[in-house]
Amino acid sequence: MPRLVLQGSQWGDEGKGKITDYLAQKADVVVRFQGGNNAGHTIVFDNHKYALKLLPSGIFSKHIKNVLAQGMVINVEALLNEIQTIKEQGITSFQLYISSRAHVIMPYHLDLDGASESLLGDNKIGTTKKGIGPCYTDKYARFGIRIADLLEKDALKARLEAILPIKNKELESYGLKPYDLEYLLNLGLSWGDKIRDHVTDTSILLTEEIKKDSKILFEGAQGAMLCIENGTYPYVTSSSPLAASVSINSGIAPKYVDKVLGIMKAYTTRVGEGPFPTELNNSLGDAIREKGHEYGTVTHRPRRVGYLDLVVINHAKRVSGIDYLAIMLLDVLTGLDLKICYAYELDGKVIDYIPATLTEYQRVKPLYVSLPSWNEDISKVTCYQDLPDNCKAYLKKIEELTSLKISMISVGPSRENTIVIEDLL
Ligand code: GDP
Ligand code: IMO
Ligand code: MG
């Protein structure tokens, strides 16, 4: 199974970074294929904690080729800062390849993200304000600037001459300051100079690796419910984090994607606005938030917390395909009252799908099955058999209600707090 997608299956922050890092120890290549520095992936090993936003979670192993593929939107300054940070943390030797076709987050994208959110007022999305939406908007409007443009003065000048009058009009319409072409040209070229050695056609690189039968991990950012196509629109991000988008976003043929590992928390969290049927606005929610340290890596906002919702997981499974599940943060549920949502009630009818409209989704009432809790500390458990019976029953219920096999269980943030049931690489 040499090419595996790690896909967030809820509203993001499922622990994708931890599992990518764990599996990366056996991989040859790790690819980020969408999103940008709206992502925050936390990795813990050897008593060190790393927070990655743009860099793939294979960056800690010298032998791994780490790829930022063409479907990403890259804030070059943020990338350079992140590289500086990991160097200061002692990670000085790594392989990084940046797609020449990836789009660049420009300073005006940040301004526009903030301005549109303010104008939306109570209807705001609750974005990370990293310019993600405006950058993808420009990509699809064909007003984007790509990494390759930063490497050649004439190319960047031509792009800015075409685009900037339009962007400045937009900025002025929000009462924001327009940008000077020379300023952006010099800024862009200085970024280009700093990343030039890492830039390549990553589609060619990946296709070569596939020919060699290399083990490739595709590290999703965000999660299925934040997918622009299949999520809780408009409370979503502006890309598709699903395995289905790996091919187009990486420049490889779809037949090369072998298997999908759906990463999910043992409960549910969400950052930002939007419907969340199993949300717990009570002391149990607060207890989970504190035990799970559920505060955003990027914006430090407290995450909204709720019971496990398997309608969400089954939705993710249907729209993209999930072959195996990784259950994360199981340790957090120790000693707590346990319920799993298996369906919703909508206007008196039982449904097992996510309604398309927000109004309907806001009306659904979760239907729960209750399960007995366990009180034993599971954070040191390394094999499935040693888990308490009630814990196993919780996991079995997930398998039964999703018809999916659990291949990995995480019982703590660190590499060693991982139970492997089936080896996927
Ligand atoms: P990602 O965005 O999907 O990579 O997830 P984040 O890193 O944003 O959030 C997951 C959080 O849970 C991080 O703080 C991880 O260190 C932490 N974490 C991951 N797995 C476990 C686990 O099994 N138990 C506990 N207690 N924390 C975990
Ligand atoms: P990782 O990879 C959780 C959310 C934001 C907001 C919505 C749109 O760490 O799982 P955006 O800035 O993308 O336009 O914001 O999406 N969001 C995330 N939530 N984890 C993430 O990434 C997220 N990336 C974006 O909070 O609700
Ligand atoms: Mg995160």
- pLDDT tens by residue, 241-287: 999 999 999 999 999 999 999 999 999 999 999 999 999 999 999 99
Residues 86 and 233 placed together within one structural domain of the fold? yes
* pLDDT band (50, 70, 90) for residue 199: very high
Residues 382 and 288 placed together within one structural domain of the fold? yes
* Assigned domain for 56 exists: yes
Distance from C-alpha of 181 to C-alpha of 41, rounded to nearest angstrom: 35
* CB contact at 8 A, 332 and 292: yes
Ligand 2 atom at shortest distance from the alpha carbon of 273: 27
Displacement of CA 236 from its chain's centroid (Å): 12
* pLDDT band (50, 70, 90) for residue 76: very high
Closest CA to 36 of 101, 112, 124, 104: 104
* Assigned domain for 141 exists: yes
State mean pLDDT over 184-206: 98
Closest CA to 301 of 278, 265, 271: 271
Residues 32 and 78 placed together within one structural domain of the fold? yes
Residues 21 and 152 placed together within one structural domain of the fold? no
Residues 319 and 399 placed together within one structural domain of the fold? yes
Please report which residue ranges of 107-232 form alpha helices under DSSP H. 107-120, 132-141, 153-173, 181-195, 202-211
State the residue range of the domain holding 151: 103-195
The CATH number linked to 353 is: 3.90.170.10
Pocket test of ligand 1: the residue of 7, 13, 377, 394 to mutate, having most ligand atoms within 8 Å of its CB, is 13
Work out the mean pLDDT of the chain and round it to a whole number: 97
Residues 138 and 203 placed together within one structural domain of the fold? no
Q: Which of 178, 195, 212 is the last residue of a domain?
A: 195
* Assigned domain for 413 exists: yes
* CB contact at 8 A, 62 and 94: yes
* Assigned domain for 272 exists: yes
* Cβ-Cβ contacts under 8 Å for 121 (sequence gap 6 or more): none
* Assigned domain for 87 exists: yes
Which stretch of DSSP H or E encloses residue 291? helix 283-291
* Assigned domain for 342 exists: yes
Ligand 1 atom at shortest distance from the alpha carbon of 43: 16
Q: Is residue 298 pLDDT above 90, yes or no?
A: no
Q: Is residue 337 pLDDT above 90, yes or no?
A: no
Pocket test of ligand 2: the residue of 50, 226, 240, 269 to mutate, having most ligand atoms within 8 Å of its CB, is 226
- Give me ligand 1 centre to Cα 304, in Å: 15
Closest residue (by CA) to atom 2 of ligand 1? 13
Q: Which of 260, 278, 294 is the last residue of a domain?
A: 260
Q: Give the residue with greater pLDDT, 297 vs 10.
A: 10
* Assigned domain for 425 exists: no
* CB contact at 8 A, 417 and 379: yes
Closest CA to 132 of 74, 76, 57: 74
Residues 280 and 416 placed together within one structural domain of the fold? yes
* CB contact at 8 A, 263 and 222: no
Residues 145 and 239 placed together within one structural domain of the fold? no
Closest CA to 308 of 11, 6, 43, 18: 11
178 pocket-lining for ligand 2 (C-beta < 6 Å): no
Catalytic (active site) residue 28:
no
Residues 234 and 129 placed together within one structural domain of the fold? no
Catalytic (active site) residue 293:
no
* Assigned domain for 387 exists: yes
226 pocket-lining for ligand 2 (C-beta < 6 Å): yes
Q: Which of 138, 164, 195 is the last residue of a domain?
A: 195
Residues 130 and 234 placed together within one structural domain of the fold? no
The CATH number linked to 15 is: 3.40.440.10
184 pocket-lining for ligand 2 (C-beta < 6 Å): no
* CB contact at 8 A, 146 and 84: no
State mean pLDDT over 307-321: 97
Instruction: Give the strand pairing for 405-410 and 324-328.
Output: parallel
Least confident residue range of 5-9, 74-78, 136-140, 293-297: 293-297
How many Cβ atoms sit within 10 Å of the Cβ of residue 137?
16
Residues 64 and 166 placed together within one structural domain of the fold? no
pLDDT of residue 3: 96
- Give me ligand 1 centre to Cα 412, in Å: 8
For 64-125, the DSSP string reads: PEEEE-TTBEE-HHHHHHHHHHHHHTT----EEEEETTSEE--HHHHHHHHHHHHHHGGG--
Closest residue (by CA) to atom 26 of ligand 1? 412
Residues 303 and 416 placed together within one structural domain of the fold? yes
pLDDT of residue 1: 60
State mean pLDDT over 46-72: 96
Ligand 1 atom at shortest distance from the alpha carbon of 297: 8
Does this model's pTM top 0.95?
yes
Q: How many domains does the chain have?
A: 3
- Give me ligand 2 centre to Cα 422, in Å: 30
pLDDT digits 0-9 by tens, 202-244:
999 999 999 999 999 999 999 999 999 999 999 999 999 999 9
